């Protein structure tokens, strides 16, 4: 049995039957944001994103309020090993830094962006940790559209212009410890920008904001995008979301084959609908890929 199959088997042991429903529906291309508005600020100040949680709930990006506590427990299972890797005794010496985390999937529709948003919210609840949620899906910038910042400068603008300080493009939100970096203006050569030395310098600048800052990148699917594969080379941790009963095994194998376990700490999140528990939302299991064990 391969390490991939062992990892998936470990995830599935306590998993319920998959639910085919509960997939968030993105707003039509070109529509307004579904969960935010930009709050007016003094001249020269960065705009602040005010998150409309009820709108996000209605769109399927947050659980119903009566499921918040149980849902929060699911995300604690995901973030604890992530934080342990990011701030462990050996983390400071590791390159790329394990504080650089990429959320990935094999194919569209596996729940990657949903997971990115909720994981960022969960990380922001930590007392001594801040998180920058970065829209690294430059081909289809869902995070930027959901949070209403698709017209703002962002990641690609900072990568293409050495004079732009990426920190000046980070937008605060009304959630303590949570900020957002939009994807920026779409342009040719995005793959080359994401794999450039400038990307490494930009990542270092993001982490320099705070000694306990996590940079969480929402990426495009690995099996269909050269941009996500380029971005992965700058990441210390990669979390691959697998949708139970949906993600083809070969697509997952192909996606994992694009990653380097010696360079990235690669983990799997099994996105498993569980209607009896979460009323159509997501249940999650967490495990590591590349760990040679039979448990």
> For residue 212, what pLDDT is reported?
92
Q: Which whole number is the average pLDDT over 33-38?
A: 56
Domain extents in the chain: 3-16+65-288
The pTM for the full model equals: 0.82
Residue 72 parent element (H or E): helix 68-87
Q: Which whole number is the average pLDDT over 91-102?
A: 93
> For residue 166, what pLDDT is reported?
93
- Contact between residue 270 and residue 8 where contact means Cβ atoms under 8 Å apart: yes
d(CA 230, CA 238): 12
In the structure encoding, which two tokens stand for residue 161, read together? 């212009």
> For residue 42, what pLDDT is reported?
55
Query: What does each C-alpha distance from 177 to 57, 134, 165, 270 come to in angstroms?
Result: 21, 14, 20, 27
Q: Does the pLDDT value for residue 22 go beyond 50? A: no
Q: Does the pLDDT value for residue 171 go beyond 90? A: yes
Q: Which whole number is the average pLDDT over 255-281?
A: 70
> For residue 130, what pLDDT is reported?
95
Q: Does the pLDDT value for residue 113 go beyond 80? A: yes
CATH class (in words) of the domain with range 3-16+65-288 = alpha beta
Strand partners, 284: 271
d(CA 19, CA 182): 32
Express each pLDDT in 127-156 by its tens digit: 999 999 999 999 999 999 999 899 899 999
Express each pLDDT in 38-57 by its tens digit: 555 555 567 789 898 888 88
Express each pLDDT in 178-224 by its tens digit: 999 999 998 889 999 999 999 999 999 999 888 999 999 999 999 88
Lowest mean pLDDT: which of 64-68, 215-219, 244-248? Answer: 64-68
When comparing pLDDT for 26 and 45, which is higher? 45
For strands 48-51 and 36-39, give the pairing. antiparallel
Q: Which whole number is the average pLDDT over 219-238?
A: 93
């Amino acid at each position: 049995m391969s390490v991939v199959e062992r990892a998936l088997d470990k995830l599935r042991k306590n998993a319920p039957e998959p639910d085919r429903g509960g997939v968030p529906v993105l707003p039509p291309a070109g529509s307004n944001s579904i969960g935010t508005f930009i709050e007016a600020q003094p001249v020269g100040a960065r705009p602040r994103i005010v998150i409309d949680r009820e709108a996000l709930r209605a769109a399927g990006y947050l659980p119903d309020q009566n499921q918040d506590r149980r849902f929060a427990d699911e995300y604690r299972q995901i973030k604890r090993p992530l934080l342990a890797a990011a701030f462990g005794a050996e983390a400071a010496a590791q390159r790329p830094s394990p504080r650089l985390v990429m959320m990935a999937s094999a194919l569209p529709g596996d729940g990657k962006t949903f997971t990115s948003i909720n994981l960022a919210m969960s990380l922001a609840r930590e007392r001594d940790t801040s998180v920058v949620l970065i829209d690294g899906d430059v081909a289809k910038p869902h995070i930027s559209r959901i949070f209403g910042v698709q017209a703002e400068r962002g990641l690609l603008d900072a990568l293409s212009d050495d004079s732009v300080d990426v920190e000046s493009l980070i937008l605060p939100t009304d959630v303590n410890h949570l900020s957002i970096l939009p994807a920026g203006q779409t342009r040719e050569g995005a793959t080359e920008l994401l794999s450039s030395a400038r990307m490494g310098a930009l990542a270092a600048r993001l982490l320099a904001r705070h000694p306990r800052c996590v940079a969480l990148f929402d990426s495009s699917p690995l099996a269909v995008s050269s941009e996500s594969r380029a971005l992965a080379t700058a990441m210390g941790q990669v979390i691959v979301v697998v949708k139970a009963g949906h993600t083809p095994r070969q697509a997952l194998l192909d996606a994992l084959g694009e990653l380097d376990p010696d360079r990235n700490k690669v983990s799997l999140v099994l996105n498993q609908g569980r209607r009896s528990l979460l009323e159509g939302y997501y249940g999650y299991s967490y495990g590591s890929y590349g760990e040679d064990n039979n448990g």
